Structure 1
Amino acid sequence: MKLILILLVTAVLGYAPQEVKCPSTNLIRSGEDISENEKNWIDNRRKKTTAALSEYIKNVGLDDDAVDLVENSSINIGIALSGGGYRSMLVGVGQLAALDNRTEVTEGSSLGGIMQSANYISGLSGGSYLIGSLSLNNWPSVHQSVLENDLWNLTEANQLVNTNGLWTVIWPVLTDNLWEALSHINHWVTGKDTGIKYDLQAKKDAGFPVTLTDAWGRDLSYQLFSEENNAEDLNFSDIRDQPAFKNYDMPFPFITAIGREPGTIVYNTNSTVFEMNPFEMGSSDPSLNSFTDIKYLGSRLSNGTNNGTCVAGFENAGFMVGTSSSLFNEYLDTLVCDDCNSLNFAVKWVLKKFLTYLSNTGQDVAQYPNTFKNNSFGTSRKLATNDTLYLLDGGLAGEVIPITPMMTTQRKLDAVFALDNSQNWPDGSSLITSYERQFTEQGKNMVIPYVPDQKTFLHQNLTAKPTFFGCSAKNLTDLVKDDVVPPLVIYLPNRPYTFWTNISLYQFSFTNEEKKAIIQNGFETVSRLNGTIDEDWPTCVGCAVIRREQERQGIEQSEQCKKCFEDYCWDGTIYESDEPYYPPLNFTDSGLTNDSVTYEGFSNVTASSSSLFSFF
């Protein structure tokens, strides 16, 4: 009878995963290359990206030779959105708007068309909120999302975390009762037998572990997805069914997380970087070196084989996005650290005890049944033999810009836009961490151009304006792997132009005016204040994205592009002093912002050179 029921299940309803009949195909493959599904999808996407890039190159005034170059090549562009909570999501919305040819600006020079020219887009943590939300809402424009649909309602009435009455959770925390502690979050019970409580109970009753990440992911779904049922049965693989994806009208999306080794609470650059894309979940890192069909994620397999019964629905969209932003210990640590003054001594002691309990039981991270168990592709025996995978926010290992899976020799990127909204004001450390990872065993298939140390980033004001890294392939020969040259990286950091967007990682609610102001400032960070700082900036971006193809064909840059590279390329020099460098606070167009600056509501918005929203 049970087998009959299993065979009858054709669609997963509700949050709980369900048993289904396994497909006849092998569900595990080696990570030595990208999947056939991805290859075929990218081949079809390229037909549109080539046309879009050709149009962009014409619009920014590059010569006819550059147009011919694009039309007769396959330039491969990626966009990476950093973590950083809602700060990263909202700033990232504006940054993508600047790259989107659907965004209408009344004046100024536009970078619109770069997003249409990109094959890949990645996000983690706050960046994953944005990528997941756009992908599963059919890739709307910013105006559609914010002005027409109010997709991201982040007002206090709709916030995720109920910060009132912390004392009311002391008893469940003191008694290590996670379930009772979770009952204080918003959306826990929304009606008769509805709400997060019942979603989590259904998953638990189905025999799957439930942790803080489940509650977090379900809570996020109320803000990120437009489903009437708040996406309780919306899966990450449902991106495949979105018209924008099916018609190749959006970049290929993926989000990332890292694996925590079983039996430890340690994470660093040696941690396995996992990616979740519409077709697969897995890692090309040597430790795992394998992928599985994401539709059957959570199935109990042994070296890829099954007993006829698989699992569907484990890859709930909110759970995937929640996994990419699972940093609860770090959040709670900000409340209980020795120098924190938000809580008194007694409450701190209770929370520290609770943190220890969560870590020891693995309930502070996302738990996945190990679909990769006993596979023979990876080098880590712990990953191969453990029943459970422990996944958490990828930024906790320092790579807050999710470029690791994008910078593989398998994907062969030519140019990558690194949108850095990590720290309150970025200092280059995320890009440095990724650069250093390529020299480890885990990064042996990564190719990233040279970047300087943090002191040089600050001293040379490389976080105060866009900077190009890897401008000349002939200077990167020592970094080439499998004949793949590192892509040129266009680094775009968050900084204040029209609003102070150094917002705390732990701010969860915003007025609609604040939300729009943050988005507007994101637009300005990428557009260089809508072209008012440098009207040639869109042209320089065009010079950057075609450079690798020019070098492959032995084509010399135009004088126009040479001037752009003089203005925006890192010159390779290093700040040699042993003394730390502390540049002055400076909010001018060419200065550096390197310190915490708070704002007091919407009053700090200054006059903007462009207007995405009518209230400016």
Structure 2
Amino acid sequence: MLTTLLVASSLPLLAVAQSAASLAYTPVYGACPSGFTLVRQAGSSAAGNQTLNPQETAYISSRKSNVLPNAWKTYLSNIEATDVSLPSYVSDILSGDSGDYPNLGIACSGGGWRSAMFGAGVMSVLDSRNAASAALGTGGLLQAAQYLTGLSSGSLLVGTLAQANFPTMHDLIFGTNSTDPTNAWGGWFAQLSRAAPYTNATQNAEYIQLLVDEVRGKFEAGFSVSYVDVIARDNGRHFVNGTDINNFYDEFLVHGAGYTWSAVANVSTFMAYEQPFPIILATLLSPNGNLSTVVPGFLIPTSNPVVELNVLCVSDEMGSYDPTLAAFTPMKYLGTANESICATNFDQTSFIMGASGDADIFFNTSESTLINSPMYPILEVLNNTIPQTGVVLDGTLFPNPFLGPATEGAFIDADETILALSDGGSSGEVIPIQPLLVKARGVDTIFAIDASQDLENAYWSAGGSLINTQNRVNTLFPTAYSFPPVPTNISEFIAQNLSTRPTFFGCDSSTEAPLLIYLANGGPPRDGETSLTNVAPLNVTTEQMQAFLDQTYMIAMQGNSADPSSAIDPEWPACLACAVVDRARNRTGADRSGICCSCFERYCWNGSTYGL
């Protein structure tokens, strides 16, 4: 249980010249634009008046009209090329003949470097640009998805994919060649430890001091800074445009500073509606939370709002559809506290990723744990360089736009001047499913990628996040969201092998909940290879990264064979298509038939075992 929040000390601040990175990272004040509104009320799903931002609605509508028809046809063509015999309704839906395409969302879990790599490996199986995936019959689902959500290290995957202009997974991780080195996407540089890229301790200490100095301008502009700001500057080198392996250590470059999350809407693939709509998640870190709703092993109450950080063409937003907030504020103007003087340049992409991935609250459970944690040396430098009185340091800090009457609901932090966010998985929901349950979005199929850690002595996933989502929805928000039934404990997931092979939840067509396709890092591949994905790496070589991705690819394409002696199900691509279209099938009134019947018998969980 969290005992106390880190608070900065109070020491003299000495003036120093700002670097280019510090200047680019500093928010700017100016007059608010005409007609500016600080808070948009999002309505209530319980009352039937829940509303999406009009710009999100417009993006999804344009994507449906301009991109999805060809995307679904490409996906269908890839499946049909495998010579599988699909029911006619599957072909009708995917070709557009039924007039109703599936509304698919993909969710990428947290779990450190492991989750970012595992998520990328799985999405490579879904990517039509991967020739092997296209030939397998799974390639194309990534291009056809409407939404893509990320949380914690999953947000690094989703965030970099969006801002790097939606490259292939290989290029995302290892970088692309570019004639413009100042704007090039260099890759993740996973071989360099985050916040400790040198092999020399003295150089690493100097590197931390450099990162702290780069957030100084933000403090001098009047904003509180925290540990996450420092990590954000390291994020800028790993996950934002403008850095390559040759200039990583160049102190005179901005290294991603100035690249804002709201500006992602200006990249060419987003402007052409080619990207699934990206959503990054964080969790409210509040002194006012109801501690009785804390899940054992986690720190933040599940009753605290789950916060979305969205990209939109004009009115990108931060906020929550949870009934306890049900309000949003413009992302471009984060840092703004009134409707007269507006801040811009606050929503640094590296900072937004940091908000979702700030799991360091888990180090602040006792003094001894904190002192022995990797965050403590960074906090010491931050406290000594930029002392602040009474400022929480283990959260991501925002001036609170939802003060007092700004929100109509019972928002627990309506009286707080500073809003603090923490890792999206700090409350136990490590797969970012909540945005895909928002009824106004109409998502009917969720592909959930899980690389979180559910076992104490191993890094395997075993459904814990799904269980926590089920409990949160059913206990706290039963009218706001609908979630398909899943087991009530991890032991059942393990006993039935629900996380060592793909599993479908919610196969009952009568439910209004989305159908959930669950693919977890739950065990080694069934071909007998030595496991490479049961790790928590701080840094990996290029060769290790490629080996990890190759094994993830095997896990994601093996399916659940009807033949116990076979490691790979040749019908898995067809079964996946059957699940993707099933809610759309139900809307047409067609009955399941053909291969889809046997697929659902093999892949569906019915409350006690596989089968309907």
Query: Shorter-chain TM-score: what band?
Result: 0.7 to 0.9
Q: Does 1:205 find its partner at 2:230?
A: no
Structure 2 unmatched ranges of 5 or more: 1-21, 44-50, 81-85, 177-185, 244-253, 292-298, 454-458, 562-566
Tell me the residue number matched to 2:42. 31
The 2-side partners of 1:205 and 1:500 are apart by 49
Tell me the residue number matched to 2:136. 109
Rate the CA distance shift 1:520–1:186 in 2: closer, same or farther, 3 A.
Answer: farther
Whether the 8 Å CA contact 1:499–1:518 is kept in 2: the answer is no
Render the CA deviation track for 1:504-558: whole Å, top value 9, x for unaligned: 54x3211111111122222222222899601111111110011111112211112
Render the CA deviation track for 1:569-598: whole Å, top value 9, x for unaligned: 0021179xxxxxxxxxxxxxxxxxxxxxxx
Whether the 8 Å CA contact 1:255–1:276 is kept in 2: the answer is yes
Tell me the residue number matched to 1:309. 341
Tell me the residue number matched to 2:305. 272
Tell me the residue number matched to 2:497. 461
The equivalent position to 1:54 in structure 2, one of 38, 57, 73, is 73
Q: Does 1:261 find its partner at 2:271?
A: no
The 2-side partners of 1:321 and 1:462 are apart by 30
Q: Does 1:496 find its partner at 2:524?
A: yes
Spell out the pairing of 1:188-203 with structure 2 (5 A cutoff).
188=208, 195-203=210-218
Is the partner of 2:329 in helix, strand or coil? strand
The 2-side partners of 1:427 and 1:333 are apart by 25
Instruction: Output the amino acid matched with 2:492.
Output: T
Tell me the residue number matched to 1:614. none
Whether the 8 Å CA contact 2:504–2:604 is kept in 1: the answer is yes
The 2-side partners of 1:114 and 1:313 are apart by 34
Note the C-alpha offset of 1:394. Answer: 1.3
Structure 1 unmatched ranges of 5 or more: 1-11, 169-182, 190-194, 477-484, 576-616
- What is the percentage of aligned positions where both structures have the same residue? 32
Render the CA deviation track for 1:159-181: whole Å, top value 9, x for unaligned: 42369898x9xxxxxxxxxxxxx
The 2-side partners of 1:275 and 1:117 are apart by 22
Instruction: Output the amino acid matched with 1:29.
Output: R
Note the C-alpha offset of 1:67. Answer: 2.2
Q: Does 1:545 find its partner at 2:577?
A: no
The 2-side partners of 1:365 and 1:163 are apart by 26
Is the partner of 1:80 in helix, strand or coil? strand
Whether the 8 Å CA contact 1:95–1:524 is kept in 2: the answer is no
Note the C-alpha offset of 1:472. Answer: 1.6
Q: Does 1:65 find its partner at 2:89?
A: yes
Instruction: Output the amino acid matched with 2:428.
Output: G
Whether the 8 Å CA contact 1:358–1:364 is kept in 2: the answer is no
Q: Does 1:216 find its partner at 2:237?
A: no
Instruction: Output the amino acid matched with 1:462.
Output: L
The 2-side partners of 1:559 and 1:263 are apart by 54
Tell me the residue number matched to 1:172. none
Q: Does 1:155 find its partner at 2:183?
A: no
Tell me the residue number matched to 1:326. 358
Rate the CA distance shift 1:289–1:375 in 2: closer, same or farther, 3 A.
Answer: farther
Spell out the pairing of 1:93-132 with structure 2 (5 A cutoff).
93-105=120-132, 109-132=136-159
Whether the 8 Å CA contact 2:89–2:585 is kept in 1: the answer is no
Tell me the residue number matched to 1:17. 27
Spell out the pairing of 1:336-485 with structure 2 (5 A cutoff).
336=368, 361-423=391-453, 424-442=459-477, 444-453=479-488, 454-474=490-510, 476=511, 485=512
Rate the CA distance shift 1:238–1:559 in 2: closer, same or farther, 3 A.
Answer: same
The 2-side partners of 1:408 and 1:369 are apart by 26
Tell me the residue number matched to 1:239. 264
Is the partner of 2:107 in helix, strand or coil? strand
Note the C-alpha offset of 1:281. Answer: 0.7
Is the partner of 1:286 in helix, strand or coil? coil
Note the C-alpha offset of 1:226. Answer: 2.4
Note the C-alpha offset of 1:110. Answer: 3.1
Whether the 8 Å CA contact 2:320–2:326 is kept in 1: the answer is yes
Note the C-alpha offset of 1:493. Answer: 0.2
In the alignment of these two chains, the number of paired residues is 519
Render the CA deviation track for 1:209-246: whole Å, top value 9, x for unaligned: 11001011111111112225311101001110011111
Whether the 8 Å CA contact 1:91–1:522 is kept in 2: the answer is yes
Q: Calculate the TM-score normalised by the size of structure 2.
A: 0.78
Instruction: Output the amino acid matched with 2:603.
Output: Y
The 1-side partners of 2:74 and 2:498 are apart by 30
Two-structure CA RMSD over aligned residues (Å): 3.2
Is the partner of 1:40 in helix, strand or coil? helix
Rate the CA distance shift 1:15–1:516 in 2: closer, same or farther, 3 A.
Answer: same
